[in-house]
Amino acid sequence: MPDDVEKHIDMLVSLDDETHYDMTYAEVKTFIEDDVRSLVSLGSEATEELCSLLQDPHTWSCFFSLKALKEMNDPRAISPLIEFIKNNDDDLGYAETAMFALSNIGSEAIEPTMKAITADFKKHDYNPFLVGSLTNIVDPKVYSFMKKITEDFVSHPQKYADWFRIDDFTYDFVEQENKAILPLLNKILQTSDLDNWQKIELQDTIMALDDPEWFEDHKKQTEEILRLSGLTDIIADMGVDSNIDERIPRDDVPFTGNTAIYALVNDKKDPIKIEEDNRDQYIRLLYSIEKSIVNEYEYDSSLKDRDVIFILKHVRDNLFKKKYSPKANLEKAIVNNLKLALTGSDYSRFEVKASVKYVYNSVKRHKKVDGKQGYVKFISSMIGEP
């Protein structure tokens, strides 16, 4: 390998020792960020060596190799990234970075990723990271593939029972911006056996496709609500630890387990929807989620709205499952801060889920209107450090 590549790769590998594993992400990032930046600038010369470091997802070298590959968009990383996602889909923090690294490559990643997804679907295996890698790419081939699968779902629902996530799969029809799919999505909504959350997801997708101007109007309303809500005055009352979300890989962000959250909610079973007229009742919950996102963005300025969307969907779908174990640092911070917000309060699990859903919808709206970092920049300007 070229001398420049070898020098920077050796620096990455040197991080894989006990001394560096005891450091926080912020500390290690400061130490290694020049080398990562240099590897990105070297481009294809560094791809093979970076991919060779993806074997062990529990190392700093793997973590920063994925960060570099995410910025490089080199087609030679396609196969290694697909294999990494397939082998590490239970590790949200790493798999999502690989997902975005793969989708950032663009059109050249489409055929191999479709082939891998098709093979998975034949085995009734739904890998959301692999699916997201494909559906985030805006291309007629991707749209056609998504349409074909969605049509088959409608025609043979029994084939997809218990393993396929139709709301997740169809979400990125918004990215494809082809309204021709709307009749099919409406048909699913009217005829399929969906749970409440899936219906809400599908309705949101339909709205985003059918009436994009609505997002701009809602954005203005949301900004006004946030301005009038006095969120910045709540932090002392909540006791949120601004350092709770130090970015370090794997399980080093403090997390005490999920069982305690059951003791922090009441038994009310009435589903609720958070809207303008009742939003103030849930400020503690909403702020705990929003502040977690702001902290994450302060640590990692490359954080994009789609990263936040993916995390919030995972929290919403798994928060009250007995075996739920958050993986990504932002995910852990959201759950930890929700626990703080729930202490001494009287919210139900439905209200907690509705709060996650409210922020999730806000992120989607800002992403649609203001671009890739529309929400994270907006919310940071509202409640971040001055």
Whether the CB-CB separation of 280 and 73 falls below 8 Å is answered with: no
Give the integer Cα–Cα distance in Å for 220 and 227: 11
Mean of pLDDT values over 355-369? 86
Beta strands in the chain (DSSP E): none
Neighbours of 56 (CB within 10 A): 9
Which phi and psi angles does 13 have, rounded to 5°? Answer: -65, -35
Q: What is the pLDDT of residue 224?
A: 52
Is residue 235 over pLDDT 50? no
Of 112-121, 328-337, 368-377, which one has max mean pLDDT? 112-121
Mean of pLDDT values over 13-24? 84
Confidence of residue 166 (pLDDT cuts 50, 70, 90): very high
Mean of pLDDT values over 351-359? 92
Which two tokens mark 11? 């620096």
Give the integer Cα–Cα distance in Å for 18 and 248: 14
Distances (CA, A) of 206 to 138, 364, 370: 17, 13, 19
Confidence of residue 236 (pLDDT cuts 50, 70, 90): very low
Lowest-pLDDT range of 27-41, 251-265, 311-325: 251-265
Q: What is the pLDDT of residue 81?
A: 97
Give percent above pLDDT 90 in the chain: 42
Is residue 105 over pLDDT 60? yes
Neighbours of 307 (CB within 10 A): 24
Residue located via tokens 């709060």? 355
DSSP string, 163-174: T--HHHHHHTHH
Which two tokens mark 298? 């302060």
Q: What is the pLDDT of residues 147-161, one digit of tens each?
A: 999 999 999 999 998
Confidence of residue 15 (pLDDT cuts 50, 70, 90): very high
139-163 as b/e, with b when 16 or more CB fall inside 10 Å?
eeebbebbbebbeebeeeeeebeee
Mean of pLDDT values over 39-50? 94
Mean of pLDDT values over 124-151? 95
Q: What is the pLDDT of residue 76?
A: 96
Is residue 91 over pLDDT 80? no
Q: What is the pLDDT of residues 280-325, one digit of tens each?
A: 889 989 999 999 999 888 888 888 888 899 899 888 888 887 667 7
Of 41-45, 107-111, 126-130, 324-328, which one has max mean pLDDT? 107-111
Is residue 4 over pLDDT 50? yes
Q: What is the pLDDT of residues 189-209, one digit of tens each?
A: 887 788 776 787 788 788 888
Confidence of residue 69 (pLDDT cuts 50, 70, 90): very high
Is residue 231 over pLDDT 50? no
Lowest-pLDDT range of 49-53, 165-169, 180-184: 165-169
State the average pLDDT for the chain. Answer: 82
Is residue 129 over pLDDT 80? yes
